[in-house]
Amino acid sequence: IPFASGRSAHLGARALELAGTIRGHIAGLILRLRRWSGQIDLDEKEVAAAEGNSQCLFQNVKFMPANMKGQHRTRQESWEACRAHCQETPGCAHFSFWPNEGCHLQDENARMRFARRVIAGHANCEE
C-alpha cells in the first residue's frame, strides 16, 4: 500500500503549511503579550518566528543596553546605513534603528526588548 496517494499527499503538504502559519501567529502573539513592557528580554527564536521577521532583521525590537561602551546615538538615513555603521565599528554585534533616524550600536552582550516601530538586527547577517 503506498504511503500517500495524490490527494492525501496534498492534504499532508497543506497541513504542514498550516502548521507553519500557526507557529508564526503564536510567536507573534507571544511577542504581543510581552509588549506591554519593554523591560522584558525577548527570546530571539520567538522573535525570528514572528510574522514579518527573519533570522537577521527584526521589527518592533531593540537591543539593550541602548549603546555599547564608547558609542552614542548617531543619525543614519536607513536601517541599512545603520547596519553598515555597525559593521564598520569594532565590537559591534547588533544595531537598533529608530523611526527618527536614530542609530544605536550594541555589543554581543545586548538583549532584545520590544520597541514599537524600531528595526534591529545583527551586524553581519545578510538577507
At 69, give phi and psi (nearest 5°): -55, 130
What pLDDT tens digit does each residue of the chain (127 aa) get? 455 556 666 667 777 777 767 766 666 666 555 554 466 677 777 776 666 667 788 888 999 999 999 999 999 999 999 999 999 999 999 999 999 999 999 999 999 998 889 999 999 877 6
pLDDT value at residue 75 = 98
Contact between 88 and 123 under an 8 Å Cβ cutoff? The reply is no
With vertex at residue 115, the alpha carbon angle to CA 73 and CA 34, rounded to the nearest 5 degrees, is 150
pTM assigned to the model: 0.66
* 31 contacts: CB under 8 Å, gap ≥ 6: 42, 46, 47, 50, 60, 114
Extract the C-alpha cell encoding 15. Answer: 497541513
At 66, give phi and psi (nearest 5°): -60, -40
